[in-house]
Amino acid sequence: MSEQTIALVTGANKGIGYEIAAGLGALGWSVGVGARDDQRRKAAVEKLRAAGVDAFGVPLDVTDDASVTAAARLIEEQAGHLDVLVNNAAITGGMPQEPTRVDPATIRTVVETNVIGVIRVTNAMMPLLRRSASPRVVNMSSSVGSLAQQSGTAGEQTTGPVAAAYAPSKTFLNAVTLQYARELSGTNILINAGCPGFVATDLNGFRGVRTPEQGAAIAIKLATLPDDGPTGMFFEDAGVVPW
């Protein structure tokens, strides 16, 4: 096994994912830039390399079994193991998304990417993660998936659009993260969900108030947890996010 720390970030060609790749690369890690579009992936890898990051491209559509299997094979051949997986790729499915009017197809598409995509990628990478001395999985979630925050039972009510696909997809992702943590308790694999805050990216038409670099910070923190760090939890920069 190579001693180089290897990370894979899904949806790393732009936005928060790109900055997660840049941040992990700045630690001296080798970073797989998971991206579905050839041109966008190549451009991101070139930009990261120009910034001194040991980046390599990983063709990856999280909704496509064959693509995900090929991505795992590529990392196996390239590195032989994987230390950190950041499941960052996601879509909103477009707004508005009021429950009374939403197209069920939108919900299917969003869940396929934001939840099943995470499961597909995580499970494909699991044999490679199990070869790492300190495997970490980071699922990029959102506080809009917090039922406590959405309902106001945790105090402050999250302001975000009423959304029948995107917000529940993150609730689903949080629940799945917890189930992985339960199954993997007693192993050295730590898996947590992180919320980047409201970040100016394509996802929200650049209406966010934080920079992608600021949004990447929580993922980098969860990717570099010590061996006795938490698992099965949901964090933002300020601390634990209530489920």
Ligand X SMILES: NC(=O)c1ccc[n+]([C@@H]2O[C@H](COP(=O)([O-])OP(=O)(O)OC[C@H]3O[C@@H](n4cnc5c(N)ncnc54)[C@H](OP(=O)(O)O)[C@@H]3O)[C@@H](O)[C@H]2O)c1
Q: What residues are labeled active site?
A: 166
| Widest Cα–Cα separation across the chain | 53
What the block records as the tokens of 151 is 């309902």
194 binds ligand X (CB under 6 A): no
Instruction: Give min distance, CB of 71 to ligand X, in A.
Output: 10
142 binds ligand X (CB under 6 A): yes
> 200-239 mask for ligand X (x: CB under 6 A)?
-xxxx---x-------------------------------
Candidate segments 14-22, 72-80, 100-108, 235-243, binder of ligand X by CB under 6 A? 14-22
Minimum CB distance to ligand X smaller for 1 or for 105? 105
CB 18 within 8 A of CB 45: no
21 binds ligand X (CB under 6 A): no
Dihedral of the alpha carbons of 174, 23, 74, 112, in degrees to the nearest 10: 30
User: For the stretch 3-29, what's the b/e string if a residue is b when 16 or more beta carbons lie within 10 angstroms of its beta carbon?
Assistant: eebbbbbbbbbbbbbbbbbbbbbeeeb
13 binds ligand X (CB under 6 A): yes
- Candidate residues 5, 6, 17, 146; the one interacting with ligand X per rule CB under 6 A: 17
7 — phi, psi (to 5°)? -125, 150
15 binds ligand X (CB under 6 A): yes
39 binds ligand X (CB under 6 A): no
DSSP 116: I
- Candidate residues 33, 48, 89, 217; the one interacting with ligand X per rule CB under 6 A: 89
CB 158 within 8 A of CB 144: yes
Instruction: Give min distance, CB of 88 to ligand X, in A.
Output: 5
| Residue 77 CB coordination number (10 Å) | 8
Instruction: Give min distance, CB of 124 to ligand X, in A.
Output: 13
CB 34 within 8 A of CB 11: yes
Contact positions toward ligand X, by CB under 6 A? Answer: 10-11, 13-17, 35-37, 40, 60-63, 88-91, 113, 117, 140, 142, 195-196, 198-199, 201-204, 208
